[in-house]
Amino acid sequence: MNPLGKVAIVTGASSGVGAETAVQLAELGASVVINYANTLAGAEETLRRVEAAGAKGVICQADVSDEAQCRHLVETAVAEFGGVDILVNNAGTTTYVPHKELNNLSDEIWERTLGTNLMGPFYMTRAVVPELIKRGGGEVVMTSSVAGLTSNGSSMAYCCSKAALNSMTRNLAKALGEHNIRVNAICPGLIDGRWAAEGWGEAWEDIKVLVEGQTPLSVIATPADVAQSLLSVITGTDVMTGQIITLDGGFTIN
């Protein structure tokens, strides 16, 4: 799909991968709905960058784990721009819990992680499908994780949420293909950004060095790299759907 003149919703767009994706879509001529859950200042900065790229943007607060708020987000896109062509399900959350510490993986952590990382993309996709059908089809892209392909991640709940998201991507692709709606996922490895740095805290620099040393390309992706990969799926062939694409510098082939 050529994003020029299209309308995109990007969830979790106040920072990191979501912000970079919104800006890259804007640079290609799309109007962008910038979603945030908590950080208005970050969303305002993303909007400034979108407008600086010469595109139209609008900010919409919504917690994607709440279906009513997801529907409001889609309704905002339709009210502001007349429809939707692209959905980037990027919003995510995690809590750092070592996998062996089963007793520290509370019900609240499970519910919050699955609510945002799994149910959120489902609610958003279900809400946007009628609008995509009106446009003759569209693109849905998930920001997943290699944590969904391996047993390595910030918590067992996070790994499970992303594994389920990968499965849901394939199921949605099968279910929605007849409407010319393509559904794919990008699975980044460790991302060199604020989210991971804050999560790992003082161990962050050591983690980066460790992962880079175990990666064939000796590099970890930046948020801009992941956004470029998401854009490559959106702007690439319209024949591709149901694909789970790894972006980790080769880390998982070792």
Residue 36 annotated as catalytic: no
Rounded Cα gap, residues 13 and 115, in angstroms: 18
Helices (H) and strands (E) in the chain, counts: 9, 7
Q: Which of 53, 35, 240, 202 minimizes the C-alpha distance to 127?
A: 35
Length of the chain: 254
By the 8 A CB rule, do 62 and 116 touch? no
By the 8 A CB rule, do 69 and 62 touch? yes
By the 8 A CB rule, do 220 and 212 touch? yes
Backbone angles phi, psi at 36, to 5 degrees: -145, 160
User: Which of these is catalytic: 36, 96, 123, 158?
Assistant: 158
Rounded Cα gap, residues 138 and 202, in angstroms: 42
H helices present in the chain, as ranges: 16-27, 40-52, 67-81, 107-114, 120-134, 156-176, 194-200, 204-213, 223-235
Residues with catalytic roles: 158
